[in-house]
Amino acid sequence: MARILITSAIPYINGIKHLGTLVGSQLPSDVYARYCRARGHEVMHICATDEHGTPAELAAAKAGMPVAEFCAMMWQKQADLAQGFALGFDHFGRSSSQRNHRLTQHFAGRLADAGLIAEVDEKMVYSPADGRFLPDRYVEGTCPNCGYEGARGDQCENCTKQLDPTELIDPRSAVSGATDLEVRETKHLHLRQSALADQLETWIDRQTDWPILTTSIAKKWLKDGDGLRDRGITRDLDWGIPVKRGDQDWPGMEGKVFYVWFDAPIEYIAATAEWADAHGRPDADWERWWRTDKGAKDVRYVQFMGKDNVPFHALSFPATIIGSGEPWKLVDYIKSFNFLNYQGGQFSTSKGRGVFQDQALEILPADYWRWWLMANAPETSDSEFTWAAFQAGVNKDLADVLGNFISRVTKFCRSKFGETVPKGGSYGTAEAEVIAELTARTATYQAHMDAIELRKAAAELRAIWVAGNEYLQAAAPWAVFKTDPDAAAATVRFALNLIRLYAALSAPFIPGAAASIAGALDIDVPDWPDDINAALSALIPGHGFTTPEVLFAKITDDQREAWEEQFAGQ
RNA sequence: GGGCCUGUAGCUCAAUUGGUUAGAGCAGAGCGCUCAUAACGCUUUGGUUGGGGGUUCGAGUCCCUCCGGGCCUACCA
C-alpha cells in the first residue's frame, strides 16, 4: 500500500466553470483518486477555490455584494457542483482560509529570511475614479502599433504586439471607462526565482516520465530570454492575504496583499490543514502528508491541471517550497492537460458558448459527462466536444455496450430462473477463456491507470465491457436453455458475476452507475478484484437481485438538436 | 515576432520511441442472433500518415522546407 497525495488545480471563484475546466483537473484527479483508493492505497485528495485577485473583486462588485460574501456564496456553489459531479475530495477548501493566510505569510517570511525576496519600486497605472491600481490587462486604449481601439495594456489582440499600458493612446480603465489615469509608484515584493533557477532546472531535468507538455512548458520558462525571471508576489488590492513576514508586520507593505499565484498553490497545503481542522484532528495528521520530516517521505504527490497552470506548478510553487529551506513535500508528478474546445471553437464564458457545469448536471447525470470527457480527454492535444460525438459515445458505450449487457442478463435470468443467481451447471472452457482475457485486460487497464493514461484506460475498460457481450453471444443461453437448463444457468451465473466485476472496475469513471449496479445486485460496490477467477464466482447461487430499470437512457436526436441550439451562445 | 505542441481511414484517436503487411472505436456494407435500451455478435469496405525534399538497409517516427490548426509568451487566473 502506498500513500498518494492528489491535488486538483483550484478553480477560480468568479463564476460557474464550463466543462473545459472540469476535464483537465478536477475530473481526472477524481478518477485517479478513486482508482488509487480502490487499489487499497491511502489517498488524500484535495481541491479548493482560488478566491483572490482583481476579477473576484470586480465580479463581487458587479453582483453588488461584499467580496467576502460573494466568495462564500460562490464557494458553496462550486462545492455543490463538485458534489454533483461526484468529485470525492477529502476536503474542498478556500484559499481565503485563515490556514492559508498563516501559511502564505509563513512562506513569505522564510523566503525573505533566505534572501529570496526583493523589494522593488514599480510604476503602475492608478485609476482615481475606480480607487484602485489597474493590472495591465484592465487598461484599454488604442494600439500604437496598429491603431486597434480595443487594445489591452498587456497586448494588442489585433496585432498581437506586446505592450506596456503607458504606450496606449487614449488609455482608459476597463473597469469604469475612466480616462483620468495616472502612473503611481508603488512598492512590491518579488520572489527571486532567478536565484533558484539552477536548482529548479536540475529538478525538472530529472523528471523524465512527466508529460512532454509539462516539461516543455517548464523548460521554456527556464530558458526563455535571460532565463527564469523574478516574479511579483504582491498586489495593491483590498481582498487577499495581507503581506506579513511570518507573523510580523512588513514595513512599507502596509495595505498590500499577496498575489493569487503566490497564495493559491500554498492552499493545497492549507486545505489539507483545513481538512484536519474540520475533522478535529491534530496537525500531525495533515503534516504527515506534507512534511518529509513528519512522515511524508513515502508520499507520492500527483498534481492535475490544465496547461495554462503549468508554469506556476512546475516552477513558482516549487521555488516557494525549495526556497523556504524547510522539508515540505515537492510534487512527484505533474499531469497536465490540453484544452477542450466546443464545436469547432473555444468555450466562452462571456459569450455563453458551451456547456457550463450547472447546466450539464441539469440535463444529464454526472456519469454521462464523466465517462465521455475522460474517454476523450485532451491528453496529447486539444480535443473537441461536439454534441454528435458526445451523443454517439454515450449511447454506444454506456447504453448499448454496458447498460444493455446488464439488461439482457438480468431480464433473461428473471424470465427463466427468477431474480436470484441460478444454481446448476458449472463453468467450462468458455468461462476459462473469458477469465484469461479479463485477467489480461484488467492488468492493462491498471497499467494505464497507474500511468494516468486515462483515455487509454477508458478504452480498455470499454473492451472489458464488450467481452461480456461477446461471451453471452457465443454461449447463447437463450438457445441452450431449451435443451440444457443447467448449462444455461451456469452461463447466466457467470454473466451476473461479470456485472458484479464491472461495478468494481467501472467505479473510478462512473461511480454513480457503479453504485446503481451494485445496488441492483444487492451488494456494495465490490473491492478491487485482485483475482479475476475468484471474483467471477463471488455471487453464489441463491443470491437475490433486482432487475434494474434502464441504467443509461439514450440521448435522442431531438435532445441533441435542442442542446446544440441552447448552448450555441451569441 | 519568439517558443512549444499538433496534422495518421468520412469522424475521434493508437502505433512498445527508427523495424514485418500503419491499428482500434464510431459511421458505412454484408451476414448471424432474437436474451436485451431497434440492443448484441461475426465478417467487411476504407489510409501515397498535410505537400515537397533529405538521411538510412529501413521513416508515421529523425533532418530541412512549405502549408494548416492550437497553446504559451511572465500584471486575467
How does pLDDT run across A334-352, given as a tens digit for each residue?
A: 988 888 888 767 777 777 7
Q: Which nucleotide is nearest to A397 (CA to C1')?
A: B25
Which of A57-61, A290-294, A348-352, A442-446 is most confident?
A: A290-294
Average pLDDT over residues A223-250: 90
What are the structural domains, with CATH classification, of chain A? 3-115+196-205+261-337 (3.40.50.620), 117-190 (2.170.220.10), 387-535 (1.10.730.10)
Q: Give the residue with greater pLDDT, A90 vs A140.
A: A90
What pLDDT is attached to residue A181?
Answer: 87
- Residue showing cell 466485476: A501
Q: How confident is the model at residue A317 (pLDDT cuts 50, 70, 90)?
A: very high
d(CA A473, CA A464): 15
Neighbours of A514 (CB within 10 A): 21
Q: What is the DSSP letter of A330?
A: P
C-alpha cell at A490: 451456469
- Among A229-233, A378-382, A463-467, name the one with the lowest average pLDDT: A378-382
**Does A143 have pLDDT greater than 90?**
no
CA of A411 to C1' of B75 (A): 62
C-alpha cell at A531: 483475482
What pLDDT is attached to residue A132?
Answer: 86
Q: Which nucleotide is nearest to A407 (CA to C1')?
A: B36
CA of A218 to C1' of B2 (A): 16
Residues 6+ apart with CB under 8 A from A190: A117, A118, A119, A120, A230, A231, A232, A233
What pLDDT is attached to residue A567?
Answer: 84
What pLDDT is attached to residue A171?
Answer: 86
d(CA A202, CA A322): 12
CA of A162 to C1' of B64 (A): 31
Q: Which nucleotide is nearest to A307 (CA to C1')?
A: B71
Average pLDDT over residues A418-436: 95
Say how far residue A277 (Cα) sits from the centre of its chain.
Answer: 24
What pLDDT is attached to residue A354?
Answer: 82
d(CA A556, CA A16): 27
What pLDDT is attached to residue A136?
Answer: 84
Nearest-CA residue to the C1' of B69?
A382
**Does A160 have pLDDT greater than 70?**
no
| DSSP H or E stretch at residue A495 | helix A485-506
CA of A374 to C1' of B11 (A): 18
3-state secondary structure A22-44: HHHHHHHHHHHHHHHHHCCCEEE
The runs of H, that is alpha helices, within A179-292 are 197-205, 212-223, 260-278, 283-290
Nearest-CA residue to the C1' of B27?
A392
Helix/strand/coil for A272 = helix
What pLDDT is attached to residue A159?
Answer: 65
d(CA A373, CA A390): 9
Q: Which nucleotide is nearest to A416 (CA to C1')?
A: B35
Q: Which nucleotide is nearest to A554 (CA to C1')?
A: B37
**Does A225 have pLDDT greater than 90?**
no
What pLDDT is attached to residue A78?
Answer: 94
Question: A184 and A124 in contact (C-beta within 8 Å)?
Answer: yes
CA of A380 to C1' of B55 (A): 28
CA of A384 to C1' of B47 (A): 23
* Per-residue exposure over A192-209, b if at least 16 CB sit within 10 Å of its own CB, e if not: bbbbbbeebbebbeebee
Question: A283 and A273 in contact (C-beta within 8 Å)?
Answer: yes
- Among A137-146, A254-263, A319-328, name the one with the lowest average pLDDT: A137-146
Q: Residue A562 half-sphere exposure, CB side, CA atoms within 13 Å?
A: 6
Torsion region of A31: left, alpha or beta (phi above 0 gives left; psi -120 to 50 gives alpha): alpha
Q: Which nucleotide is nearest to A338 (CA to C1')?
A: B71
What pLDDT is attached to residue A425?
Answer: 92
- pLDDT one-digit tens code per residue, A320-335: 999 999 999 999 999 8
What pLDDT is attached to residue A84?
Answer: 96
CA of A498 to C1' of B39 (A): 18
What pLDDT is attached to residue A397?
Answer: 95
Question: A410 and A535 in contact (C-beta within 8 Å)?
Answer: no
**Nearest-CA neighbor of A561 among A346, A336, A387?**
A387
**Does A24 have pLDDT greater than 90?**
no
Q: Which nucleotide is nearest to A235 (CA to C1')?
A: B75
Q: Which nucleotides of strand B lie under 7 Å from a protein CB?
A: 1-7, 11-14, 24-27, 32-37, 39-42, 69-77
CA of A112 to C1' of B71 (A): 34
Average pLDDT over residues A485-489: 97
Question: A34 and A374 in contact (C-beta within 8 Å)?
Answer: no
What pLDDT is attached to residue A382?
Answer: 77
C-alpha cell at A477: 443461453
What pLDDT is attached to residue A16?
Answer: 85
What pLDDT is attached to residue A383?
Answer: 80
Q: How confident is the model at residue A295 (pLDDT cuts 50, 70, 90)?
A: very high
C-alpha triplet A46, A332, A91: angle, nearest 5°: 5
Residues 6+ apart with CB under 8 A from A60: A66, A67, A69, A70, A71, A239
Nearest-CA residue to the C1' of B36?
A408
CA of A50 to C1' of B60 (A): 43
